[in-house]
């Protein structure tokens, strides 16, 4: 089943995303990236806390491709073995959904902690 | 040397995954290895261990996923019958299965009619015709065992075909067209 067949409720149920997957999607949010640049970007974004192995990265990319969150991006000048990926509109929408979910959670947490302190 | 190890480990992945991502994964591993050549021995060792663990875990995960997909595709209980092209039955199979089912139902009905037509006298007739239900019930475990075994053999053949990569011939001919 692709996300195109999923109801908004089902999409919400696929959240929250794991941190590596979220970082991979964030890495692709700006521009199409190759596998190696995704690895480096994820490491940079997480300040070296999340270091993905190639096996883990391609496992995640495979799932995201299967679910139509990302797609292969054909470049004019691509050397052998370098394939770029980019977010699909559906993937971008879901990423935005996850960001909104996190924002709400953070706002709620801040409110609760502030109430407790006062 | 490390690339040889990676190449060997990549063979652990299902053929389909290797076709899709093999070259890319090897290219990424090569670039990463180049990054780590100037690093300290400990950092290189950590990188090597991480990549090997990742590849082995990834291969296991992909095999498991492929297995789940096959099970999921074959599951009628969920109302889904999304088999991959390589495993799809020809449409005529459904017709044949329906014909066989109709034949079995008719045979049972005929058997019941015959059983009903035999007069139920006491003491019983010297030629005793066993009711069709008892024949079926008596042979039911054998009946199920036979079809279960047939199903298993069918599944094994499909699995062996998939492992041999025969389904890729379809893609090849489609590509050539």
Side-chain-side CA neighbours of B104 within 13 Å: the count stands at 8
Which residues in chain A are closer than 8 Å to B24, comparing Cβ atoms?
Answer: 35, 58, 81-83
pLDDT band at B169 (very low <50, low <70, confident <90, very high): low
Is the pLDDT at A12 greater than 50? The verdict is: yes
CB pairs under 8 A between A and B: 62
To the nearest whole angstrom, how far is the Cα of A89 from the nearest Cα of chain B? 23
Cα separation of B87 and B32, whole Å?
38
Is the pLDDT at B132 greater than 70? The verdict is: no
Lowest mean pLDDT among A38-42, B13-17, B59-63, B121-125: B121-125
pLDDT band at B104 (very low <50, low <70, confident <90, very high): confident
| Mean pLDDT for the stretch of residues B75-80 | 48
Task: Flag whether residue A83 sits within 8 Å of chain B, measured between CB atoms.
Answer: yes
pLDDT of residue B153: 83
Instruction: Say if the Cβ atoms of A54 and B31 lie within 8 Å.
Output: no
B36, B6, B109, B121: which is closest to A54 by C-alpha?
Answer: B6
How many CB atoms lie under 10 A from the CB of residue B107?
Answer: 11
Is the pLDDT at B80 greater than 50? The verdict is: no
Cα end-to-end span (Å), chain B:
40
Task: Flag whether residue B8 sits within 8 Å of chain A, measured between CB atoms.
Answer: no
Q: For residue A86, list its beta bridge partners.
A: A71
Closest A-chain CA to B48: A53
A50, A58, A61: which is closest to B10 by C-alpha?
Answer: A58
| Mean pLDDT for the stretch of residues B59-65 | 89
pLDDT of residue B36: 86
Give the predicted TM-score (pTM) of the model.
0.59
DSSP string, B100-138: HHHHHHHHHHHHHHHHHHS---SSPPSSPPPPHHHHHHH
Reading the block at residue A76, the tokens are 């004019």
| Mean pLDDT for the stretch of residues A96-100 | 93
| Mean pLDDT for the stretch of residues A20-45 | 94
Cα separation of A30 and B5, whole Å?
34
Q: How far is CA A30 from CA A54, A77, A83, A92, B134, in A?
A: 21, 20, 17, 11, 71
| Mean pLDDT for the stretch of residues A23-36 | 94
Instruction: Say if the Cβ atoms of B58 and A56 lie within 8 Å.
Output: yes
ipTM of the complex: 0.78
pLDDT of residue A3: 45
Instruction: Say if the Cβ atoms of A53 and B53 lie within 8 Å.
Output: yes
pLDDT of residue B5: 87
Instruction: Say if the Cβ atoms of B55 and A82 lie within 8 Å.
Output: no
Instruction: Say if the Cβ atoms of A62 and B50 lie within 8 Å.
Output: no
Max mean pLDDT range (A6-10, B5-9, B70-74): B5-9
| Mean pLDDT for the stretch of residues B123-148 | 65
| Mean pLDDT for the stretch of residues A62-86 | 84
Interface test with A, best of B13, B29, B39, B58 (most A CBs within 10 A): B58
Is the pLDDT at B75 greater than 70? The verdict is: no
pLDDT band at B141 (very low <50, low <70, confident <90, very high): confident
Side-chain-side CA neighbours of B65 within 13 Å: the count stands at 15
To the nearest whole angstrom, how far is the Cα of B118 from the nearest Cα of chain A? 56
Cα separation of B139 and B76, whole Å?
25
Q: Among A53, A62, A82, select the one facing B54 at the smallest CB separation.
A: A53
> What values do phi and psi take at B134, rounded to 5?
-70, -30
pLDDT band at A57 (very low <50, low <70, confident <90, very high): very high
pLDDT of residue B114: 83
Closest A-chain CA to B21: A58
Task: Flag whether residue A44 sits within 8 Å of chain B, measured between CB atoms.
Answer: no
To the nearest whole angstrom, how far is the Cα of A83 from the nearest Cα of chain B? 7
């Amino acid at each position: 089943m692709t996300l195109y067949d999923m109801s908004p409720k089902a999409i919400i149920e696929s959240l929250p995303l794991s941190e590596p997957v979220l970082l991979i999607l964030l890495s692709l949010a700006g521009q199409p990236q190759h596998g190696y640049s995704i690895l480096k970007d994820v490491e940079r974004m997480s300040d070296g806390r999340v270091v993905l192995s190639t096996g883990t990265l391609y496992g995640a990319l495979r799932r995201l491709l299967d679910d139509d969150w990302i797609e292969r991006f054909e470049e004019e000048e691509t050397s052998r073995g370098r394939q770029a990926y980019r977010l699909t509109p559906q993937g971008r929408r879901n990423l935005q959904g996850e960001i909104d979910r996190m924002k709400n959670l953070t706002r709620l947490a801040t409110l609760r902690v502030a109430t407790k302190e006062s | 040397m490390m690339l040889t190890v990676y190449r060997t480990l990549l063979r652990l992945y299902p053929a389909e995954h290797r076709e899709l991502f093999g070259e890319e994964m090897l290219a990424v591993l090569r670039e990463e290895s180049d990054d780590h050549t100037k690093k300290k021995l400990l950092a290189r060792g950590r990188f090597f261990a991480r990549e090997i663990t990742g590849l082995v875990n990834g291969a296991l995960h992909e095999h498991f996923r492929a297995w789940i997909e096959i099970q999921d595709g074959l599951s009628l209980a969920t109302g889904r019958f999304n088999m991959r092209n390589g495993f799809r039955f020809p449409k005529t199979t459904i017709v044949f299965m329906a014909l066989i089912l109709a034949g079995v139902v008719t045979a049972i009905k005929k058997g019941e009619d015959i059983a009903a037509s035999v007069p139920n006298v006491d003491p019983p007739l010297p030629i005793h015709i066993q009711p069709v239900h008892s024949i079926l019930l008596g042979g039911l475990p054998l009946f199920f065992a036979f079809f279960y075994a047939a199903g298993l053999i069918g599944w094994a053949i499909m699995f062996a075909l998939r492992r041999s990569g025969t389904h890729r011939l379809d893609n090849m001919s489609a590509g050539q067209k």
